[in-house]
Amino acid sequence: MQIQDPRERRRIVSLTPLIDVVFILLFFFMLASTFVQWRSIDLGLTSPEGASASVEGAILVRVHSGGLDLNGRPVALEDLSAAAGRYLERRDGQPVVVQADEGVDLQRLVDVFDRLVAAGAEDLSLQGGTRP
């Protein structure tokens, strides 16, 4: 009589190919997925001709290579939120115009926008400044 040796029992499904496939899937999802959380800042478009109407009574923030001016007075980026907040308190929905000189990169502009939005600015627009 032949008795089967229990040690010789083989698994029906081998694990190794399964793991291979799972690894490949893992790499695919790791490389193909993005985790950037997008945020947005709304900017109004001011036309150069009709600018005077929208600019009237607006808060003017000038961003130049050396720093920031708020309504003509130099201000540090850290103090911008508080300083702009004082102007915005006086009148609700006051437009804020950001004038950017050439040579200023977008990250700096976005930092400025961030602070203005934090101060309660609702009507933001971007304009060209003086050319160097």
Partner 1 sequence: MKLSKPQPRRDTEDYILPLVNIVFLLLIFFLLAGTFKAPDPLEIEPPQSRSEKQAETQGPLTVLLDAQGRLAIDGERLEGEALQQRLAERLAAEEGGVVRLKADAAVDAGRILEVMERLRSAGAQEITLLTALRTG
Residues making contact with partner 1 (CB under 8 A): 11, 15, 18-19, 22-23, 25-26, 29-30, 32-45, 47, 63, 100-107, 109-111, 113-114, 117-118, 126-129, 131
List beta partners, residue 60.
Answer: 97
Structure tokens at 121: 């600015």
> Could you give the CA distance from residue 49 to residue 68 in angstroms, rounded to a whole number?
25
Q: Which is nearer to partner 1, 2 or 34 (CB)?
A: 34
Q: How far is the CB of 105 from partner 1 (least distance, A)?
A: 5
Q: How far is the CB of 8 from partner 1 (least distance, A)?
A: 14
Q: Which is nearer to partner 1, 1 or 31 (CB)?
A: 31
Q: Which is nearer to partner 1, 3 or 29 (CB)?
A: 29
Q: How far is the CB of 19 from partner 1 (least distance, A)?
A: 6
Structure tokens at 46: 């001011």
Number of C-beta neighbours around residue 11 at 10 A: 6
Q: How far is the CB of 92 from partner 1 (least distance, A)?
A: 19
Residues 32-62 as b/e (b if ≥16 CB within 10 A, e otherwise) read eeeeeeeeeeeeeebeeeeeeebbeebbbbb
Q: Which is nearer to partner 1, 2 or 66 (CB)?
A: 66
Tokens 């907040």 belong to 85
What backbone phi and psi angles, to 5 degrees, belong to 32?
A: -85, -20
Q: Which is nearer to partner 1, 65 or 71 (CB)?
A: 65
Q: How far is the CB of 57 from partner 1 (least distance, A)?
A: 20
